[in-house]
Structure 1
Amino acid sequence: MDPLVSTQWLADHLADRDLRVADASYHIDLPGEPKRDAAAEFDVGHIPGAVFMNLAGFSDPDSSLPSTMPNAARFASRMARAGLGDGVRIVLYDDASHVTAARAWVMLRAFGFTDVAILDGGLTKWRAEGRPIETGEHIVRPRHATPRAQGRDIADMAEVRAALDGDAQVVDARGRARFTGAEADPRAGVAPGHMPGARNLPYKQVFNPDGTWKRGQDLRDAFAAAGVDPARPMVMTCGSGITASILAFAAHLLGHEAAVYDGSWSEWGADPSTPKAAGDA
């Protein structure tokens, strides 16, 4: 299974016995953004046979930071509850403004689940094509999930400091105004700006106007325009590790792997000991 599958491919394979489809929608609900309820939206309409992953429930409840990775026990429990355990292929999709299926993809791979794909264009494209929609809660058969790794391609602050001092590229997925510091961070107590030496590749630049992922030369051009060489080591960052995952998936589409800084700017920008810069890269 390719890491990015089309709506037609999914329609053709929905009945495959070893395939599971999961709605990975998660709404960050930053200050000023309209509130959305991912679970309620799933009940109103989802791809037939899909399960609601409840991506928000995977986060570490003991962390002071938003959206951080769970430990292995919590991950296994949440996966099993969603029927997304061992021995199945998983296709992830979302209907979220921050394309959170990419965050789920990063998390599953961090725990050793590699037979995972993202639906190109998500639920928006599926609906636009007039494909069938199911309503109500989907009955889930729990399935045992065995984490085979932990923390693969997930970076902490120490690793990001080392990357800034070394050969690795730190790539920030936030919009330009937040990266330069022209716009205040939406989270209280978090400074504006970016990590010194980081490059800025706003996550929206890896998508086509219709919401599908750029591929091939178009995607390479997006990285090049930001001054990023995907063939060199990369650590992706953003506000809370969500859109950084989009850049990690985009790098994967180009045949390269990148780490995701889990704490991202929510951690770095709130720590008075970390260096910070303003303006363009």
Structure 2
Amino acid sequence: MSDDPKTLVSTDWLVQHLKDPDLRILDASWYLPEAGRNARQEYEAAHIRGARFFDIDEISDSRSDLPHMAPPIEKFMSRMRAMGVGDGHQIVVYDGAGLLSAARVWWLFKLMGQENIAVLDGGLPKWQAEGHETEDMPPVIRDRHMTVRFQNHLVRDVTQVSAASKLKDHVVVDARAANRFRGDAPEPREGLRSGHIPGARSVPFSTLLHEDKTMKSPEECRTVFEAAGVDLSKPIITSCGSGVTAAILTLALERMGHHRWSLYDGSWAEWGMFPTVPVATGEA
């Protein structure tokens, strides 16, 4: 793969840059409850040297009933200061599943106007499989200010997605598994209807990844989107269960050179419980 410190970097790239003074590494591991994994405990047991733990559920909008919605600017800035992450840093974010939740944090930094952030391709599993070192020591933190310029166009709410679904001026692309998209499988969160946003296309995030959880090439990803009937000439809104894996689609689009994208932060956790918006079932 070609390393790009604004989207995706390889384990080889990280080995070469591990001692750079302005590198900051984030462990953004996150799992659904049924995975039976504790991301923070795993981080405390073993993480890439110098990595800080980015808690997706805590660094969120605590005023919202929806899971891990994007935090207010002030909260994001204060958490980053406390983590010693700020202006002038090159950030690399990874997770313990290979590529699951790290892309969400990549998107969140983009939303806050930060450009120099990349996802570690293959994440911690690939890093460890290749025999690279981990540690269990917390990093030494020094405060660092971060200048935030919120990018409104990179996020969408239920009203905007509803309008896009009706007007068909955007393509909504759903990253959930195909059986959840069709409405054949129950949602992992209670109280949600089954199905998908009318007019949406199904691109399960796993179809953009190799078996080792590294991302397919931009050309291969383009083929996947096109095979799913996604009109790449239109702006795209990515969606999923709760706004985490949608960001994997967003990362793939950015690497493909498709920059007219936004992410539906509430995703199915919001749409599936909203009584006034329609739900479609079956194939797209």
Q: TM-score, normalised by structure 2?
A: 0.94
Amino-acid identity (%): 45
Distance 1:66 1:2, change over 3 A: closer
Structure 1 residue matching 2:25: 3-state secondary structure: strand
Instruction: Report the counterpart of residue 12 of structure 2 in structure 1.
Output: 8
* 1:137-163 superposed Cα distances (whole Å, 9 cap, x missing partner): 223222222212243400011111121
Q: Secondary structure at the match of 2:278?
A: coil
Distance 1:64 1:2 in 2: 32
Q: Which secondary structure state, in structure 2, belongs to the residue aligned with residue 8 of structure 1?
A: helix
Q: Which residue of 2 aligns with 1:264?
A: 267
1:240 corresponds to: 242
Task: Name the amino acid aligned to 2:106.
Answer: W
Cα 1:35–1:97 change in 2 (3 A) is: farther
Determine the C-alpha separation between the residues in 2 that align with 1:26 and 1:84: 20
Judging changes above 3 Å, is the alpha-carbon distance between structure 1 residues 59 and 255 closer, same or farther for their aligned structure 2 residues? Answer: same
Contact 1:94 1:100 in 2 (8 A): yes
* Matched residue type, 2:23: L
Query: d(CA) in 2 for partners of 1:243 and 1:74?
Result: 23
Residue 116 of structure 1 is matched in structure 2 by 117
Distance 2:269 2:123 in 1: 27
Secondary structure of 1:99's match? Answer: coil
Equivalent residue, structure 2, for 1:250 = 252
State whether residues 161 and 264 of structure 2, in contact with CA within 8 Å, keep that contact through their aligned partners in structure 1: yes
Alignment partner for residue 275 of structure 1, among 255, 278, 282?
A: 278
2:49 paired residue number:
48
Q: Is the 8 A contact 2:174 2:238 kept in 1?
A: yes
Q: 1:103 Cα deviation (Å)?
A: 0.2
- Deviation of the 1:166 alpha carbon: 2.8
Which aligned pairs between 1:85-164 and structure 2 lie closer than 5 A?
A: 85-96=86-97, 99-164=100-165
Q: Mean Cα displacement is larger for which, 17-26 or 132-141?
A: 132-141
Displacement after TM superposition at 1:217 (Å): 2.2
- What whole-Å deviation, never above 9, does each CA across 1:202-260 have from its counterpart, x for those lacking one? 00000011111001321111111211133421000111111111111110110112110
| 4+ runs deviating over 6 angstroms | none
Aligned residue number for residue 209 of structure 1: 211
Q: Secondary structure at the match of 1:76?
A: helix
Counterpart CA distance in 2 for 1:248 and 1:161 is 19
Matches of 2:52 and 2:185, distance apart in 1: 37
User: Structure 1 residues 101-110 or 53-62, which shifts more?
Assistant: 53-62
Which residue number in structure 2 is paired with residue 18 of structure 1? Answer: 22
Deviation at 1:34, TM superposition (A): 3.3
Post-superposition offset of 1:199: 0.4
Per-residue deviation, residues 93-134 of structure 1 (Å, max 9, x unmatched): 111376111000000000101111111110111001001111
Helix, strand or coil at the partner of 2:128: helix
Aligned to 2:185: 183
What residue number does 1:67 align with? 68
Assess if the C-alpha contact under 8 Å between 1:220 and 1:254 holds in 2.
yes
User: How many positions carry a matched residue from both structures?
Assistant: 278
RMSD, aligned α-carbons: 1.4
**Partners of 2:183 and 2:195 within 8 A in 1:** yes
Deviation at 1:6, TM superposition (A): 0.7
Given the alignment, which residue of 228, 231, 248 partners 1:229? Answer: 231
Q: Relative to structure 1, is the Cα distance of residues 59 and 98 closer, same or farther in structure 2, using a 3 angstrom cutoff? A: farther
Q: What is the CA distance between 1:65 and its match in structure 2? A: 0.5
Unaligned regions of 5+ residues in structure 2, if any? none
Consecutive unaligned residues of structure 1, counting only runs of 5 or more, are none
